[in-house]
Amino acid sequence: MAQIQEFPADSPMSDFLDVRLAKLTRQEYIYKLKMFFDSLGLKGSLDEQSREFLTRTKKDREWAQNGLKYFIRDKKRRAENGELSESTIRNFYKPVKLFCKVHEILLSWDKITMMLPEGRRFANDRAPTHEEIGKVIDYPDRRIKPLVLVTCSSGIRVGAWEYLKWKHIEPIWRDNKIVAAKIIVYAGENEQYFSFMTPEAFQALQEWMDYRKKSGEDVNGESWLMITLWDTNAPAPIPQRMNTEGLRTLVERALRTQLLRKRLDMKIIRRHEFKTNHGFRKFFQTNAEPKMKSLDVMTLMGQDTGLAASYNKPTVEMLLTEYLKAVNNLTIDNTRQMVIKEVSENQQALAAQMRSKDKEIKELRDKMVKMEESQLKITELLKVMKIAKSSDGKVGKDRTMLDEKRRVTIGYVDDNNERVEMKVPLDEFEIDEAGVDVVTSHLPKRMAQK
């Protein structure tokens, strides 16, 4: 893409660039104006082409009008072939009309406008999700994480990165922790404004600047935030500012590598679900508006608020208060951590259930062992009582198993490993033919189960 350059004071391009336009829009207009001049067969630099265009047009306006008609027809043909969207054709027409208007060149604009297809008046796309952005920042390029997180959490245009230096970032502290960071956008330009970024975005940016410093770069307030790659084997990197086209290429490469972009069949579908860089800006608006006033969101995005701008003058603190309400919505790792936390909680719940089941199984086994022991004790008791019953308690000529109340004393070791004695009345204990007791009311409950 053509970069904004200096032109001689008498150049037609100097008058064109005097028009108040956003920096990114100005770049786009220069790029498309150059395409138009090339289509006319004009040679030389952009300055030379603009001079030649004015000279020939003043002599032959029909030549200029036909040239613009052919230019538009070529774009319409490409749209029919699925190479570009119909709605973008107007974007090629606008800079040409503006250039002619600045230089008082009157063409049949109504006739030319009738050639333009309607197209969509709004983009049929969406904002990327938190999960999709999470995949983008996992791309193995140290620049992509701060680039994407700052853009998503501040709503700045991708073209604003060409003006951002380290001194334009100011962390905001509350209760000994960073709650946000202020960012000065288009510093020193007429379009200058400020926005905020999340603590997550500031941390990613801080880590990126720290890495550059460790690599030998003299990082200071004048350091550009986004720079081109450098030779890591060099004694110290020579930072070179990254332009808008380079940033777009970087993001596009990340999207394709992370399988978030596929080549489109333009005859079937002409747009990706979300735009490469503007999608991040749309993410900011989509996720900030549920928590903030729409007018404040527009202000932080640097959008024209119309007449409201004359009356709505929020302070930095007022906008920060509103912004802090949306920080959670604009934080990417929060959502990812919530998913991880949910999985972890489910795993913990499952582990707790397994431990509970294991405990129940152990308790059941212990009960079974105790039941077996109790059954064994009952069997032994029956044997003793059967003997006592058959001999009326006598175990010798002068010895008896009975006390003065004709009870048999039986001892056993209980569950606490303590010796216990119980006395069973012999006369109340009966044994059926199968040798099983039928009177057990005098036995302990644990001893009475069969």
Question: Across the chain, which distance is largest between two alpha carbons, in Å?
Answer: 153
What are residue 431's phi and psi, to 5 degrees?
A: -130, 125
Please check whether residue 278 is in contact with residue 25, taking contact to mean a CB–CB distance below 8 angstroms: no
Q: What is the DSSP letter of 184?
A: E
Whole-number average pLDDT of the chain: 82
* pLDDT confidence bin for 355, thresholds 50/70/90: confident
Tens of pLDDT, residues 363-407: 777 777 666 665 556 676 677 777 776 777 676 666 666 777 778
Is 416's pLDDT higher than 90?
no
Task: Return the number of other C-beta atoms located less than 10 Å from residue 411's C-beta.
Answer: 8
Of the candidate ranges 5-14, 89-98, 283-292, the one whose mean pLDDT is the lowest: 5-14
Is 300's pLDDT higher than 50?
yes
C-alpha 146/C-alpha 206 separation (Å) is 9
The pLDDT of residue 370: 65
Which secondary structure element, helix H or strand E, spans residue 178, and what is its range? strand 177-185
Percentage of the chain modeled with pLDDT above 70:
77
- Written out in words, the top-level CATH class of the domain with range 130-330 is mainly alpha
Look at 54 and 439; give whichever has higher pLDDT. 54
In the chain, domain spans:
12-113, 130-330, 338-448
The pLDDT of residue 241: 92
What are residue 41's phi and psi, to 5 degrees?
A: 80, 15
Distance between alpha carbon 110 and the CA centroid of its chain, in Å?
A: 47
Inter-residue long-range contacts of 414-421, CB under 8 Å, 24+ positions, other chains counted: 415/370, 415/446
Is 422's pLDDT higher than 80?
no
Q: What pTM was estimated for this model as a whole? A: 0.60
Sign of the four-CA dihedral 211, 214, 217, 223: positive
The token pair that represents 317 in the structure block: 């603190």
Is 434's pLDDT higher than 60?
no
Of the candidate ranges 61-65, 182-186, 340-344, 407-411, the one whose mean pLDDT is the lowest: 340-344
The token pair that represents 6 in the structure block: 């200096």
